[in-house]
Chain A
């Protein structure tokens, strides 16, 4: 594996700072998840252990290799701009709406986006 280590000229990667509960609290907020204090501590330790695993990626010299987002390197796939609905569109709309937790006038209803419900 020696040939895959950082080439000799590159500086050794600086050790990663461990995750803190503040880091995880921020990530949870971004992901719209609420964590109890106990959960915050547990998740912080567990997520930090996974990032340790990710540190192994530093053992490989990636040089100027491009990133891969998709095994076939697809960029865009187009089709003709025509409606192609397998079922009756009206029925489909009603079925899709039926899955909504709260529906009003054929629309999904949510509490206020700004401020709070009265």
Chain B
């Protein structure tokens, strides 16, 4: 009898070991491949410990200059130092080379694509799908659900990290992105709020104070 139970539980353990099965428990982190954000406090709140790879991360920000780009800079700098390409698609201002270099970016592996809104989504998809870019960062203010979904599929097929910057107005809308982060300001500090994260059941992750 006991032996039968032991065999059964052994079999169960084998089944549960299968990588396709995810058990929610405190000691087991879900298997998400991620790129460290470089911000320890943020890494601990994200499944896999960083920006998910082969997926779209959406960064919703209220205003320019809240530190929204600072959030992704360490990860991008690390990629360029590994000689992997980072593409900026349709940035709203001129990326300032001295500040990028100071953040540790190897400028030889940073490219900027200057494009209109439809061309921007197309270029971003091409870059993601190609498989030769580490991360593709796009400023796509009026991208719709369908195009985001396309980007998500392209990121999966090219195993690249996609980051889409949009206005915080879109926070209420549905999105296929694997990770959604909102950067906002109140009480004299910038707050980073995880709105949605694949592999994390709670969507109300605690706020993270930056630039207090």
> Do A and B make up one complex?
no
